[in-house]
Amino acid sequence: MESIQHFFMTSPFDADSVRHALWLIIALPALGALINGVFGRWLGRANSNLIATAAVGGSFVLALLTFWHINDWNQVFTTPFDTRPIRYAVGMDHGTWFSAGDFIVHFGLRVDHLSGTLLLVITGVGTLIHLYSTEYMSHDAGYWRYFAYLNLFVAMMLTLVMADNLLLLFVGWEGVGLCSYLLIGFWYSDPAKAWAGRKAFITNRVGDFAFLIATFLTCLVMWSFVKQANVDNFGNVTAQQAFATGLREKGPVDFSGLEALARALPVDPGHAPTGTPAVTLQTEIAQGPLSGITYGTVLTAILLLFLLGAAGKSAQLPLYVWLPDAMAGPTPVSALIHAATMVTAGVYLFCRMSFLLVLSPTAMAFVAVVGALTALFAAVIAFAQDDIKKVLAYSTVSQLGFMFMAVGVGAFWAAILHLVTHAFFKACLFLGAGSVMHGNADETDIKKLGGVKRKMKVTYVTFTIATAAITGAIPLSGFFSKDAILHAVHGTTLAGHEAITHLVWILGLLAAAGTAFYMTRVWFLTFQGDRAADARIPEEKVHESGWAMTVPLVLLAALSVLAIGYGIPLMSAGEHGREPVMENFLRPIFATAESITSAQATVAVSHEGSLAFSWILAFVIAWVATGAAIFAYTRFFPSRAGQPAPAFAKRFQTWTRDKFYVDELYDLVIIKPIRGLASLLFRVVDAVVIDTLAVRGTAWVTARVGSVLRYFQTGDTQSYAAVMALALLGGVAWALVQVLK
């Protein structure tokens, strides 16, 4: 045991070579995207597949080595903001990206336990999905375009995760949004699919706008704070100078700077021993555009704006509407972008800035409530969707809601654990769905499938494992990650929002039951029972997919099982007994957030609640809902069983199938008025003011003036000379008058 630990915690590389190689992790997929995008047309299918898969695979190998390196006992990372070095992290600053006055942004990369975990998920799952895509896209003419986009996506996602400041993160944030748009609308000749791409892009734009505003507000807070804060904020003069130096060198959006800010902003007023009182959350900002508003208020506003940004990217209420439509893209894209990686960017953002979030219990309560409501709402909609990919899409929205719940109560490690396990089993589910479609002539309606298990053995087994994992069956990874979240929600109270945490817990339990129900429904209708009468192809023609598709399925299913290793309480945690591996592993990242919560008592974590109770509760909920689904769908619902569904179920089904008319509501409230306004602007401003008055008016006036002036253009040189002479005479006369005066 000792020797294994020693092996994994001793890096075989020297720190400098790792630092200087970090950019390669991003550059490899970016290069793959460039080659495929520019020369893909002439490369041929096999070369294109090889380049794309190898680029991401190479990135995965590099990520593994980096990960090994940051686990080293002695690996430390220094930042100008902090006098103490940070353990278990490696960073590389490639210099100033741009600077405008005080606003400095560096091109800096950083890998620590949090971004390292995500690096492995992105490149690992990414490699498997690239491999899967080589077969899935084997009949598509646009394969090189597809692989260029997919590689670009991986590069952008890696930028997002490795960025050491908010603005570089935003580059990745926008980049993945672009790739998502390109891949959703990949089959752009179909207007519905092109529309889905635009919908995703525009919905995300709303969130991105909030993200930008929040970033600007953060800069203002940093600049005000460095002017207003005194030594008591920092503890000693050296730390204060370090903060000012860091701000001058690295700019206001660096994550280390934000962490230093969070550490220096004490929540309790009045513990200043000398001189002017230290700046607290209740202190008003002295100057600048925010003067007169307290730091706490601005911080809450910033976090709520970030929540809106994260809601756009991670498909939370009220901006979740784009994700179900994003299923218009190829299925591997849904697996990689819209389940495993991109949509978790919002969760990552909050985990990266955990130290800021815990300063504002109000913002935390908002995050938790948004997460809980989304989890339940999406689960209910998933009940009645007949498209296998739509069910999985709503399931993703719902599971992301769970992650937001965890973030909202400060259980950041549980959110990341669920992020990782969800990446495994949801990618497996999506790829399984793609495999089912591939073998059933692209049929996506689960009512027209049925009995698929007899012909597609590998898909059936892997899909079953992944379904069990997401349902929360022991002993699969989903059980431990989802239970970690529910346990954390149960044991946590946010200061001033006690009732809300209880509500969130109940909503979470209901959503967990919903998850079990709709996943069992999909699994049951697709794989079990008889072949549907109106199936697109008869059962004999159904065929299992080839090795490039089944190998990723098997590996992901295996990972969904093996990932339990992260969730089992193995590591010693002092007086609290034992803690899960993931919590222990991510402790360096969330240490600041933890010390803030324990010092300021904004979040009360109770360790009294028994883990066994939570486990039994989750277990019972999962099996009751699964049993209910199996009972309902064998007894009542499939119309092919000849039993009409009960009336209340029918009404409920209509509502949920039509997604509670949220799309129609948005259409009525937002899209229609904007379209009306746009057509008004087009008719009045564009057609009348600009086209008629400004453009044609200018031409008309010029032509009229010209036709008058042309009579003076006689062509007679001497009359021109006479005009010149008269002008000269006038000039002379004027000069004379001036002189004589």
Partner 1 sequence: MVPITHYLVLAAVLFMIGMFGVMVRRNALVVFMCVELMLNAANLTFLAFARQRGDDLGHVNAFFVIAVAAAEAAIGLAVVIAIFRSRGSVQIQDIRTMKH
Positions in the binding site for partner 1 (CB under 8 A): 710, 713-718, 721-722, 725
Smallest distance, Å, CB 708 to partner 1? 12
Nearest CA-CA partner of 429 in 513, 517, 339, 511 = 339
* Closer residue to partner 1 (CB): 707 or 738: 707
Smallest distance, Å, CB 734 to partner 1? 18
* Closer residue to partner 1 (CB): 694 or 721: 721
Check: CB of residue 643 under 8 Å from CB of residue 636.
yes
Token pair in block for residue 284:
């008003």
DSSP, collapsed to helix, strand or coil, labels residue 444 as coil
* Closer residue to partner 1 (CB): 648 or 712: 712
Smallest distance, Å, CB 737 to partner 1? 18
* Dihedral over Cα of 395, 400, 403, 404: its sign: negative
Smallest distance, Å, CB 723 to partner 1? 10
Q: 467: exposed, middle or buried (C-beta count within 10 Å: 0-12, 13-18, 19+)?
A: buried
* Closer residue to partner 1 (CB): 668 or 721: 721
What are the distances in angstroms from CA 49 to CA 121, 648, 714? 21, 51, 74
Smallest distance, Å, CB 170 to partner 1? 59
Phi (first) and psi of residue 441, to 5 degrees: 55, 45
Per-residue three-class SS string for 358-396: CCCHHHHHHHHHHHHHHHHHHHHHHCCCCEHHHHHHHHH
Token pair in block for residue 263:
């550490």
DSSP state of 494: E
* Closer residue to partner 1 (CB): 610 or 714: 714
Instruction: Round to the nearest angstrom and report the end-to-end CA distance of the chain.
Output: 108
Smallest distance, Å, CB 145 to partner 1? 56
* Closer residue to partner 1 (CB): 689 or 733: 733
Token pair in block for residue 128:
């498997």
Tell me the β-bridge partners of 76.
87
Q: 312: exposed, middle or buried (C-beta count within 10 Å: 0-12, 13-18, 19+)?
A: buried
In this structure, the number of other CB atoms found within 10 A of the CB of residue 51 comes to 22
Check: CB of residue 348 under 8 Å from CB of residue 172.
no
Smallest distance, Å, CB 711 to partner 1? 9
Smallest distance, Å, CB 712 to partner 1? 10
* Closer residue to partner 1 (CB): 598 or 702: 702
* Closer residue to partner 1 (CB): 685 or 729: 729
* Closer residue to partner 1 (CB): 610 or 719: 719
Angle at 398 between CA 436 and CA 464, to 5 degrees: 35
Smallest distance, Å, CB 741 to partner 1? 22
d(CA 405, CA 489): 7
DSSP state of 683: I
* Closer residue to partner 1 (CB): 676 or 730: 730
Token pair in block for residue 260:
């230093």
* Closer residue to partner 1 (CB): 73 or 720: 720
* Closer residue to partner 1 (CB): 624 or 722: 722
Token pair in block for residue 556:
């992901």
Per DSSP (E only), the strands in 296-365 are none
Smallest distance, Å, CB 739 to partner 1? 15
Q: What DSSP string describes 70-127?
A: HT-TT-EE--TT-SSPEESEEEEEEEEEEEETTEEEEEEEEEEHHHHHHHHHHHHHHH
Smallest distance, Å, CB 696 to partner 1? 23
Smallest distance, Å, CB 733 to partner 1? 15
